[in-house]
Structure formats: C-alpha cells, structure tokens
C-alpha cells in the first residue's frame, strides 16, 4: 500500500475560455491534500490524455461550459482506453444539461457535477470513489 497523495489533472477541453471554476476547483483539491495538475485553457482531448499519462494521475476532472461536452468528454475516455490508461478515472463539471448525463456516464464519465455542486461535495466524491493507481 502506498502513502502517495491522489494526483488529479484538471482540464479545460475545447474552445471554452472561462477557467475561473476550474481554478477554484483546482485550489479546493490542493487544499484537500491532493496533488493537482492544471492544463490551462483550450486543450484538445489528445493533449489532456497525454498530460494525464505523463503526470501519472489517478483521475481527470474536466471543466466544460462550451456545450461540446457530448463530444469532448467521451473522446477523453476513448483515448485513455486506446493508450492503455483506461484505469484513469474521468469526471466532469460545468453547464451540462441533466438529459445529457446518462449518455456521458455510459461513455465512461464517472460523475458529472452541475452548477451548484459545492467543492466539499466534489472533494467528498473523490475521496469515496477514486483510489490511487499505485
């Protein structure tokens, strides 16, 4: 068993230029004791997956407000599987209609946090559902 802290990559896929929420959640993760890698704005799914593998993260949190969630989030899961890193868990948050959530979960997204979710709720979910890959 390892004492390594959970490593979380926070990514902003697509053309969405609003990263305040991603920065807030990244800080909440750091305050909760997790190691955080933030990729910055305008990342492709390929860039996010590459960074996740290079950084040896346990999970990826994707923040998306652009409306492209049905394309970009499942693509991250597909790429992880293709690269042999399907054990890296993916969760998302942002402005995502409730009707889209079942298809996203079917595509491999573990959880979706919509506006109004607290940082405590998200941190609690990670603690309950994400384990170190070591």
Banded pLDDT at 4 (limits 50, 70, 90): confident
- For residue 105, how many C-alpha atoms fall within 13 Å in the half-sphere facing its CB? 10
Alpha helices by DSSP H, the chain: 20-31, 45-54, 69-82, 101-106, 119-129
1: in domain: no
pLDDT of res. 43: 96
The residue segments making up the domain with residue 68 are 7-127
Position of tokens 């942002």? 94
Query: In the chain, what percentage of residues exceed pLDDT 90?
Result: 92
CATH of the domain at 115: 3.40.50.280
At 124, the pLDDT band (50, 70, 90 cuts) reads very high
Give the tens place of pLDDT for each residue, 34-84.
999 999 999 999 999 999 999 999 999 999 998 999 999 999 999 999 999
pLDDT of residue 3: 67
Per-chain mean pLDDT for the chain = 95
Q: How many domains does the chain have?
A: 1
Q: Is residue 2 part of a domain?
A: no
Between CA 28 and CA 34 the distance in angstroms is: 9
Mean pLDDT on 87-116: 97
> What pTM value is reported for the model?
0.95
Task: Answer yes or no: is 132 within a domain.
Answer: no
In a domain, 134, yes or no: no
In a domain, 81, yes or no: yes
Mean pLDDT to the nearest integer, 6-29:
94
Q: Assess if residue 33 is contained within a domain.
A: yes
Asked, for residue 90, whether it belongs to a domain, the answer is yes
């Amino acid at each position: 068993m390892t004492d390594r802290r959970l490593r979380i990559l926070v990514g902003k896929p697509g053309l969405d230029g609003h990263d305040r929420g991603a920065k807030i959640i990244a800080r909440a993760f750091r305050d909760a004791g997790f190691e955080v890698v933030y990729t910055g704005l305008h990342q492709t799914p390929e860039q996010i997956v590459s960074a996740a593998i290079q950084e040896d993260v346990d999970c990826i949190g994707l923040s998306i407000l652009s409306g492209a969630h049905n394309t970009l989030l499942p693509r991250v899961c597909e790429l992880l599987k293709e690269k042999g890193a399907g054990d890296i868990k993916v969760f998302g948050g942002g402005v995502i209609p409730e009707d889209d959530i079942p298809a996203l979960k079917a595509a491999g997204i573990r959880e979706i946090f919509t506006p109004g979710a607290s940082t405590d709720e998200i941190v609690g979910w990670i603690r309950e559902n994400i384990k170190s890959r070591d």
